[in-house]
Structure 1
Amino acid sequence: MTDENSLVLRQDDAGVTTLTLNRPQARNALSRAMLKALHRAFDDIATDQAVRVVILAGAGPGFCAGHDLKEVRANQEDQTYAEALFAECAELMLAIVRLPKPVIARVHGIATAAGCQLVATCDLAITADDARFATPGVNIGLFCSTPMVALSRNVTPKQAMQMLLTGDPIDAATALRFGLVNEIVPAAGLEARTAALASQLAGKSPLTLAIGKAAFYHQLELPLAEAYDYSRQAMVRNLQTLDAQEGIAAFIDKRPPRWCGH
């Protein structure tokens, strides 16, 4: 029996926390236990002031193969199980979006179904050049309706429908063209490039990043005029912070800023 504490590994280094999905033998399939472990990890990070940036990675040959179909099959006739599974998955995705720190997906191998959903949910995604992405539920009679939510907020409707209706995998170059990922790197350089990006973000004001991330996702759901009104208010509040005052002063004085997080 798998120890739930080992399903998600955590490593902290200079303000950057790496969470690694740790079911390599199952391509890091998201069992209910895995979903709960990952959600707990994000909850812990949310209140950890030492953490500035999160990297989400997968152990073994792939990033994440989606939901654990063996577990799903064993509980297929139990509607309570299905409701709990998809509710827990949705709550995890919302926890990532609401986390007041940037989350970077470090993708290799495969990212399929709910694994593709994880990539789309993270704020940024760096992928190895040999990675593959898919929402293949249609091929087994189970449309990827919940992955669709995150996917359709990253790529255009026709690109999303292409992936959802065909179930065909797309390569890293197509994922970049679709807007699902930010950058492609050789597999050998994936860890180093993701770490460099995380380190760059960790050097920013954590308060400013938190304000900006929350504002970004909130304004996406608003009509244009309301989005401008909300964003204007967010900038006014941001300008009153000590970090904004320090940042402006440092720019004018031509010196590095000293962030205090307030």
Structure 2
Amino acid sequence: MVVRSYELLSVERTGHVATITLNRPEKLNALNPPLVAEFHAALDEIASEEDIRVVIVTGAGRGFCSGADVNRQLESLQGTADPAPEGPGITALAPHLQRIPQPVIAAINGVSAGAGFGVALASDIRIASEAARFSCIFAARQGAAMEMALTGSIYDAQWALEKGLVNKVVPADRLLDAAMELAQTIASNPPICVRSIKQLVHEHDGDIENVLHLESAANASAYCSEDRLEAVKSFLEKREPVYKGR
């Protein structure tokens, strides 16, 4: 496997977990076109890796992601911006995060605003440090997000937890450890089932018949897998299962 190198983010693999760290700390990891292009490329790279079962997304420095780069927006308005790289843009990040087969955990270490808030919401699970702050400048159907959009206020991690926007709040120095512990717990489960669960959650259209059809298809695939045999054998042998994603 050829591992690509990146300039504005890093990808670290630990066992079955890949950690993407946005790396423009001086800009609170604001999304400019080169970073967006690398983010898409990293997601595509990881999506193709059968050995990676969970993805963590976080930010370097004090910010998780402060949204679109305002300086770049000004340059675009003034007609002085460099041409953006070809390929999907900033608005395609959220669906891309939901489209990759692996569950995504957002480890929100600081400011999460605008499109950065969208990246957090598009992740499957969100863990926030006590230093995390949230703000959005666009409307969403969820009541809490609508309040954020209409007021323009900045909200702390505890508020986000109370509103159900994040799953857990931990001390700042425990954030990545907590995210990795959760990722490893998920990664220890049968990979075929984990990927099927994510697909079922994100790809159904609200039609219960369609949901049941997708569930049946996912169950059929899992039923004939080596991992199902391993689950049965390990239960009978009273030992921890070792899943291979086959």
TM-score w.r.t. structure 2 length? 0.89
Question: How much has 1:222 moved relative to structure 2?
Answer: 2.0
Whether the aligned pair in 2 keeps the contact of 1:246 and 1:257 (CA below 8 Å) is yes
* CA–CA distance in structure 2, aligned partners of residues 249 and 77 of structure 1: 65
The SS at the match of 1:63 is: strand
Aligned length: 241
Question: How much has 1:125 moved relative to structure 2?
Answer: 1.0
| Larger CA deviation: 124-133 vs 225-234 | 225-234
| 1:66-104 deviation line (CA, Å, top 9, x unaligned) | 0001101111267xx999999512322222111111111
Whether the aligned pair in 2 keeps the contact of 1:119 and 1:180 (CA below 8 Å) is no
**Runs of 5+ consecutive residues of structure 1 not aligned to the other structure:** 138-143
Equivalences for residues 33-52 of structure 1 within 5 A? 33-52=34-53
The SS at the match of 2:112 is: strand
Find out whether 1:206 has 2:207 as its counterpart. no
Change in CA separation of 1:247 and 1:162 when aligned onto 2, cut-off 3 Å: same
Find out whether 1:195 has 2:196 as its counterpart. no
Opposite residue 14 of structure 1, the aligned amino acid is: G
Opposite residue 101 of structure 1, the aligned amino acid is: Q
Partner of 2:235: 251
Question: How much has 1:255 moved relative to structure 2?
Answer: 1.9
Partner of 1:56: 57
**Runs of 5+ consecutive residues of structure 2 not aligned to the other structure:** none
Partner of 1:105: 106
Partner of 2:211: 227
| 1:151-195 deviation line (CA, Å, top 9, x unaligned) | x4xxxx322211111111221112112221110001121121111
* CA–CA distance in structure 1, aligned partners of residues 197 and 164 of structure 2: 20
TM-score w.r.t. structure 1 length? 0.84
- The share of aligned pairs that are identical, in percent, is 31
Question: How much has 1:226 moved relative to structure 2?
Answer: 3.1
The SS at the match of 1:204 is: coil
* CA–CA distance in structure 2, aligned partners of residues 242 and 214 of structure 1: 20
The SS at the match of 1:126 is: strand
Whether the aligned pair in 1 keeps the contact of 2:101 and 2:198 (CA below 8 Å) is yes
Partner of 2:121: 120
Equivalences for residues 128-207 of structure 1 within 5 A? 128-135=129-136, 137=137, 144=138, 148=140, 152=141, 157-207=142-192
Change in CA separation of 1:77 and 1:39 when aligned onto 2, cut-off 3 Å: same
Partner of 1:20: 21
Whether the aligned pair in 1 keeps the contact of 2:8 and 2:38 (CA below 8 Å) is yes
* CA–CA distance in structure 1, aligned partners of residues 10 and 210 of structure 2: 41
The SS at the match of 2:245 is: coil
Question: How much has 1:223 moved relative to structure 2?
Answer: 2.2
Whether the aligned pair in 2 keeps the contact of 1:76 and 1:82 (CA below 8 Å) is no
Partner of 1:5: 6
Whether the aligned pair in 1 keeps the contact of 2:106 and 2:120 (CA below 8 Å) is yes
Opposite residue 185 of structure 1, the aligned amino acid is: V
* CA–CA distance in structure 2, aligned partners of residues 182 and 86 of structure 1: 32
Partner of 1:242: 226
Higher helix proportion (structure 1 or 2): 1
Whether the aligned pair in 2 keeps the contact of 1:104 and 1:126 (CA below 8 Å) is yes
* CA–CA distance in structure 2, aligned partners of residues 90 and 8 of structure 1: 18
Whether the aligned pair in 2 keeps the contact of 1:208 and 1:243 (CA below 8 Å) is no
Partner of 1:140: none
* CA–CA distance in structure 1, aligned partners of residues 190 and 86 of structure 2: 36
The SS at the match of 1:184 is: strand
